[in-house]
Amino acid sequence: MKSSFRAILLVGSLLLTASMASPQSPEAKSPAIPEADGYASIPKAAVPPDAKRTYRAIFDATRGADAPDQLLPALNMAGSELNAFAVARVPPRNVKFVVVFHGGALDGILEEAHYRAKHGVGNPNLKVLSQMRKAGVELFVCGQNLLFAHVDPATLSPDVTVASDALIVLMAYQNDGYALMSF
């Protein structure tokens, strides 16, 4: 009798513990930039996206991808945040993003033929650059960096605009209230 009671108690405890286990994780969605990380709405989270607020950010893209078939970190993060705002139904007019490329990120904005010749694979960033441009994201590359690295602007994605200097772009947008995001 005691062993039957213990067995019932043990099974009941296991069932109770299993039912109290963490609920199923919310699903991450990528409606704006499918190639970037998705966004999962967290119930009752502090500081959720606010559809009435305007979000301004400038992404300082200096790092290359870990592998040639991966997105540049800055593009992935900017895309992830565009996904967050799309999931939260923040109107696109309330999302003002800028990305400025220099340093190790230059390879990621090469047009297809030059990227493939250099890395042996297609450029995974080109589709995302196009999607971001269509979403209103401003995309710049440092003209000074292009000169010093001997990169012909004609070898770059047409979605990216050559700026005079990345640091000037960063200062100008930060002076206009854009938050700095560095990747």
Q: Give, to the nearest 10 degrees, the angle between helix 125-134 and helix 73-87.
A: 40
CATH code for the domain of 79: 3.40.1260.10
- Could you count the other beta carbons within 10 Å of the beta carbon of residue 70? 16
The pLDDT score that the predictor gives to residue 16 is 44
The pLDDT score that the predictor gives to residue 7 is 43
Residue 17 domain-assigned (yes or no): no
Rounded to 5 degrees, φ, ψ at 64 are -80, 170
Tally of structural domains, the chain: 1
Beta strands in the chain (DSSP E): 55-61, 95-101, 138-142, 161-163, 179-182
Residue 50 domain-assigned (yes or no): no
Residue 23 domain-assigned (yes or no): no
Instruction: Provide the residue-wise pLDDT of the chain in tens; the chain has 183 residues.
Output: 555 444 444 444 444 444 444 557 889 999 999 999 999 999 999 999 999 999 999 999 999 999 999 999 999 999 999 999 999 999 999 999 999 999 999 999 999 999 999 999 999 999 999 999 999 999 999 999 999 999 999 999 999 999 999 999 999 999 999 999 999
Domain that holds residue 111: 55-182
Residue 10 domain-assigned (yes or no): no
Rounded to 5 degrees, φ, ψ at 9 are -65, -40
CA distance 169 to 92: 22
CA distance 138 to 162: 11
pTM score: 0.86
- Could you count the other beta carbons within 10 Å of the beta carbon of residue 75? 30
Residue 121 domain-assigned (yes or no): yes
Beta strands in 18-168 (DSSP E): 55-61, 95-101, 138-142, 161-163
The pLDDT score that the predictor gives to residue 26 is 86
Strand pairing category for 179-182 and 161-163: unpaired
